[in-house]
Structure 1
């Protein structure tokens, strides 16, 4: 099964050669109001937009038949495959070239339906930026619970558990107090090493760039001692105080604000770097045309776009597609006033321009 990142790059390199692509983003979360409190408002939005687009192709537009095939395929999928727990869904369809891709998300998209020469990738890029894979570990001195957050979904995976080797209080009657405490401490350290190893293996397996730790006051310091220098920089500075038995839903509720905070801090740091580099006449550009030029020449390393500035949708989609096809990371920044004043778009560069 392809990842969201793989889908992003596949769609960015897709060349429909004259055909159009139906790009759909939907907010699938139920809105708890009105006479039908569980009804998803995206359903009438989708039908309305499909009717509006079809009218622009009548009576005999060359793309009318292709659009109808795409619309029918989308509606059939929505009727037969949508799960009640979904919060967001993205669909990309181009029947002429056999393209039909669906991405399900645990966070909502803004409702958007487009029929354009290329897939619209902005909201997918924003999902990848804001919902990076995160590893969460809840630990005590003999149990580790591991979670992976992908695309807004939280999944619990197997972690180490030393219960077969337990060292409960019943052993204290067989050992003097000093030996008991020494043995208990050694077992805690041993389990911390196992937990650290499991976290590092999962980070590598998932390609995660962020780690959240939660647990008791005894286990966390021991765990930090065992984490490698490669993992420690990924660890969020705040340790959550969660019990090892915390229910799955509560874990998600607790870590989601942390994930949002980490992403906001990272994005603002990148925007600050952009501002400083421009002031120093360094490796950065701002403004729409300058950024497009940098992307065209493969010069951009990070594309920064303000989420608070209204861009032309075609231009915005073009920026994201060019970034993906030249290996530039896309960073969507919220609430950075200086970036907004600079037109809301810029790029950190790999090298100085020689084509100006």
Structure 2
């Protein structure tokens, strides 16, 4: 059953970048990710209890780092606010997961519904922990679906596997065919075809307007061959370029059927895009247009040369960050850029992803690509 995402706050790429660019200015940002799915937590009291456990555990671990009384008080207040939000304002609806970010001294409190179940965790650090969100944003595109017939059309918008706009109906007054012969039949047939053509143009305008407002990146058009061909002609070139599939789906298809179709198309498109990027890495390595492996990729990020960052899903590794120039490296403790001292970080891959986002580098989390795994599970296409 597809989820209806109306009134669910799914993260956008712009919001993700705002979190990456967020400056704590010495304050701690409290981040919570948790499973709120009905399968794991049938009742609200179940996930409320789970949140309490996660927050208590996170606070104990933070206390062990010997924070100042002021910092501890701020973190405790932020965690209490997160707990209060989950107990009160939060409505699960169709969400599978939840992410919350809080830093009261800096005016930060954001929450996002997640279409997938995340790993339960509380992270208390000097920057928002955004890697799980980045994985979601890189995995999903906004899809606009057009089911078009001779008289009517239905428009849908899906994001993160969920229906975010109810079906929009486009209905035009198109006469039915009749069986009289002679000139009357010919004139009437031409009149009907003109009405159908107007309906197609009307649907194209409505679709482009709705899809532009929703930030749709990919379009799926379904209908009879002759109608879809004419519909594509009625679209502007930028919209035609976004069409990724023309499946044989009936105009009367249910929302469930449309959702399954979108999921299948999205999986295929994601695998195809990932394969093309990894192939570009392979082809560019001998020409100095790409690098692979942790050390080389981090060097490319430090120098601002990375254009696209590719990371195998689930890849993590300890590493180092410079206290002077903020560079990241696989090996320390001396910074390879400025020779200053470096401190250990628990996951330098997460640091690399945050660095790429702050540099506005396209970041792709790649699933199940054996070639990227062979390259070291991380790689980059270069600007120069």
Query: Does TM, normalized by the shorter one, top 0.5?
Result: yes
Could you tell me which residue of structure 2 aligns to residue 285 of structure 1? 291
Shift of 1:30: 1.4
Aligned to 1:111: 120
Does 1:46 pair with 2:51?
Answer: yes
TM-score of the superposition, structure 2-length normalised?
0.80
User: Which residue of the partner structure matches residue 102 of structure 1?
Assistant: 111
Count of residue pairs brought into register by the alignment: 344
Structure 1 unmatched runs, 5+? 352-356
Q: Which moved more, 1:9-18 or 1:210-219?
A: 210-219
Deviations 1:290-309 (A, max 9, x none): 22222223221111111153
Name stretches of at least 5 consecutive residues in structure 2 with no aligned partner: 1-8, 319-345
Matches within 5 A, 1:262-281: 262-278=269-285, 280-281=286-287
**Change in 2 beyond 3 A, CA 1:3/1:30:** closer
Shift of 1:152: 3.5
* Residues 32 and 122, structure 2, Cα contact 8 Å, conserved in 1: yes
SS of the equivalent of 2:222 reads strand
181-190 or 125-134: bigger deviation: 181-190
Relative to 1, partners in 2 of residues 1:299 and 1:146: Cα closer, same or farther, differing over 3 Å?
same
Deviation at 1:77, TM superposition (A): 0.7
Report what 1:236 is aligned to: 244
Who is 1:348 aligned against?
A: 381
1:42 CA drift (Å) = 5.3
Deviation at 1:175, TM superposition (A): 7.7
Q: Deviations for 1:309-337, whole angstroms, at most 9, x for unmatched residues?
A: 34456323211211111111111111111
Q: How many Å apart are 1:119 and its aligned residue?
A: 0.9
Residues in 2 aligned to 1:349 and 1:207: alpha-carbon distance in whole angstroms: 27
- Residues 165-244 of structure 1 mapped to structure 2, 5 A cutoff: 165-169=173-177, 176-244=184-252
CA RMSD of aligned residues (A): 2.7
- Note if contact 1:24-1:90 (Cα within 8 Å) is conserved in structure 2: yes
TM-score (norm 1): 0.86
CA distance in 1, matches of 2:43, 2:261: 25
Describe the SS at the equivalent of 2:347.
helix
Distance 2:45 2:136 in 1: 20
1:69, distance to aligned residue in structure 2 (A): 0.8
CA distance in 1, matches of 2:316, 2:180: 67
Distance 2:89 2:44 in 1: 16
The answer on whether the counterparts of 1:133 and 1:208 sit within 8 Å (CA) in structure 2 is yes
Q: Secondary structure at the match of 1:156?
A: strand
